[in-house]
Amino acid sequence: MTSAHTYSHTRTHTATHLTDVILGTISDILADLGISTASLERDWVITENAIKAWVVEESLASVVVECHRPSGAVKPVIEFPVSYRASGDGDGEFTASRARLARFLAKIDRVPAGTTFQLFCTFQRPRTPQPGWGTGALAGTEGLRSIAFGTLGAAPHASAGMRYLSN
């Protein structure tokens, strides 16, 4: 019974860590681009609870941020894919690459004033419905070039990466 408790406890910690890394990075990127984060801040708890629940149940495939410019163009698009491991090391390290992210942010394209964002989640299998989340349609990414950031955060059982799409 102890190992089941430890496994569940560690998975919950992994989900909390990766959710914090993903949402913190989204907040940093939006602020760096000059996009208002008011709706993200307003819905933080709902968003945080949903992402954590989906990481724990291993249904979340990625979190996607679309930047909608006043012209109607959708760019950049930032994806945060989540990868799961069959088993996790309960003593594993919880890591995040904040210094590397700061260097990456200095290189990304600027957006015009009035740009807004939309947050989406994609799934690798059926998920538990979460309050405040419904269905939506992602914009196409054809014609956008992709820059992989690599691993953004890692913990026992799962890790999150980042991919930036723009032209």
Domain at 58, CATH number: 3.30.900.10
C-alpha–C-alpha distance, residues 26 and 78, integer Å: 9
* pLDDT of the residue at 2: 46
Kindly report the average pLDDT of the chain as a whole number: 88
Structural domain span for residue 81 = 2-166
Cβ atoms of 155 and 14 closer than 8 Å: yes
* pLDDT of the residue at 7: 47
User: What does the pLDDT average to over 11-37?
Assistant: 94
* pLDDT of the residue at 59: 97
- What is the per-residue pLDDT across 127-146, written as a single tens digit (0 to 9) for each? 999 999 999 999 999 999 99
User: What does the pLDDT average to over 102-107?
Assistant: 80
């949903």: which residue's tokens? 50
**Could you tell me which residue, 43 or 96, shows the higher pLDDT?**
43
Cβ atoms of 102 and 27 closer than 8 Å: no
Can you read off the two tokens belonging to residue 139? 């914009």
Q: How many residues does the chain have?
A: 167
How many distinct structural domains can be found in the chain?
1
**Could you tell me which residue, 77 or 7, shows the higher pLDDT?**
77
Interior CA angle at 80 toward 129 and 145, to 5°?
A: 130
């019974």: which residue's tokens? 1
Can you read off the two tokens belonging to residue 160? 């999150």
**Residue 30, amino acid:** L
